[in-house]
Amino acid sequence: MSRFFVLTLIGLTQGAIYAAMALALVMIWRATKVINFAQGAMAMFTTYLALFAIDHGAPYWVAFAFALLSGFLLGAVIERVIVRPVESAPPLNVVILTLGLLLFLEALAPMAFGGQIKSFPPAFSIVGLHVGNSQIAFSPFDAFTLGAVLAVMVLLLLLFQKTNLGLRMRASAFNPEVSGLLGIRVGRMLTLGWALASLVGALAGVLIAPSLLLYPTFMDDVLVFGFTGAVIGGLDSAVGAVVGGLLMGFALSYVGGYFGSDLETVGALVILVAVLMVRPRGLFAVQRLRQV
């Protein structure tokens, strides 16, 4: 029982990270119908930037804000400069473009910041909390991770549901042409969508870095599991991304805990295939008529 409890806590924290990554992917998918395979590499790069700031004497929170801000800007620049020109290209070309970006960033980071594995400081203690007499596998930093991801999700929800800007962004993603006719600057909305998504990705990077250590490919697995979570949830659903990401967190934790960590990815594959065989467009897909 206690083992199950421990694994559940680990799964919850990991799942929050995957949910953030899945949400970032879904936001970009909904805005521009692109799977951004460079999402993890972008988050890796902004985490390196945060560490660079810390190494040069910046306090943790300044570096934290710096990572999010640089994520925001990086997303905007990438959308505007290299994704916009291929907007009407075949989908596979855009996939290759983001893969190229992934390789480029993963090679650029060690050139700029050095190739050795680095540790990244957490905001709070990573020692498990005490409940009564026993220590549990849930640290103040885990609580912060959960809280930060939750806060970002609530803020995004408010933005998309309650503000005029969010409405314009949703309209642009839903139907760019009609939105343009209604006077919405569709291009700007798409850039903003990418920027916000990579801010969420950057958050995931800073939150996971203390436990994974920092090296150029450290976000690859997070990207794969985030993507798997997004696919499980259904790529068109933000709620689905969060649920799918959390599911991945729990599943990987249980499989790793009960069957051995080298079967984690096999477990992920089994769950993904099981879900997709029943619901080929993910759990939260809106069933559509087949387009002819």
Partner 1 sequence: MVAVRSRVDRLVSPTLSRHLLIALAAAVVLLLLSAQIGAYDDYNLTAVAIFAVAAAGLTLLTGLNGQLSLGHGALMAIGAYTASLLLKDHRQFPVIVVLLISVLSSGVIGIVFGYAAARLRGPYLAGATLTLAVALPQVATRYKSIFGGDTGLIVPPTAPPDWLGADFPAERWLAWIAVAAALVTMVLLANLLRNAPGRAFKAVRDNEAAAALAGIDVARTQVLAFVISAACAGLAGALFAYWSGITSPAGFSLSLSLQLITAIVIGGLGSLAGAVWGSVVLVYVPLLTSGMASTLKLPSSVADNLPLAIYGGILVIAMLVAPHGIQGALGRILAIGRARWGHTPGGGQKGVVDWDDPAPGT
Q: Please tell me the distance from the alpha carbon of residue 67 to that of residue 28, in angstroms, as a whole number.
A: 19
By beta-carbon proximity to partner 1, the closer residue of 27 and 35 is 35
Q: Please tell me the distance from the alpha carbon of residue 178 to that of residue 95, in angstroms, as a whole number.
A: 26
Contact between 121 and partner 1 per CB under 8 A: no
Token pair 């559509």 in the structure block, residue: 288
Contact between 227 and partner 1 per CB under 8 A: yes
Choice from 59, 121, 147, 260 touching partner 1 (CB under 8 A): 260
How is residue 253 written in tokens?
């934790």
Contact between 89 and partner 1 per CB under 8 A: yes
Choice from 62, 178, 181, 269 touching partner 1 (CB under 8 A): 269
Q: Please tell me the distance from the alpha carbon of residue 89 to that of residue 120, in angstroms, as a whole number.
A: 39
Find the helix or strand (DSSP H, E) in which 130 lies. Answer: strand 130-131
Find the helix or strand (DSSP H, E) in which 135 lies. Answer: strand 134-135
**# residues contacting partner 1 (CB under 8 A):** 53
Provide the residue type at 18 as one letter. Answer: Y
Nearest to 173 by CA among 29, 30, 25, 26: 30
> Which residues inside 99-118 make contact with partner 1, applying CB under 8 A?
99-108, 110-111, 114-115
CA 171 distance to own-chain centroid: 23
CB-CB contact of 13 with 199 (8 Å): no
CB-CB contact of 265 with 58 (8 Å): no
Which one of the spans 7-15, 81-89, 120-128, 131-139 is the region binding partner 1 (CB under 8 A)?
Answer: 81-89
By beta-carbon proximity to partner 1, the closer residue of 113 and 124 is 113
Which one of the spans 47-55, 98-106, 166-174, 198-206 is the region binding partner 1 (CB under 8 A)?
Answer: 98-106
Helices of type H across 33-59: 39-55
Partnered with residue 134 across adjacent β-strands are: 131
Contact between 203 and partner 1 per CB under 8 A: no
Which one of the spans 57-65, 87-95, 129-137, 196-204 is the region binding partner 1 (CB under 8 A)?
Answer: 87-95
Contact between 51 and partner 1 per CB under 8 A: no
Closest separation in Å from C-beta 251 to partner 1: 12
Contact between 277 and partner 1 per CB under 8 A: yes
Residues that bind partner 1 (CB under 8 A): 29, 35, 82, 85-86, 89-97, 99-108, 110-111, 114-115, 220-221, 224, 227-228, 230-231, 235, 260, 262-266, 268-269, 272-273, 276-277, 280-282, 290, 292
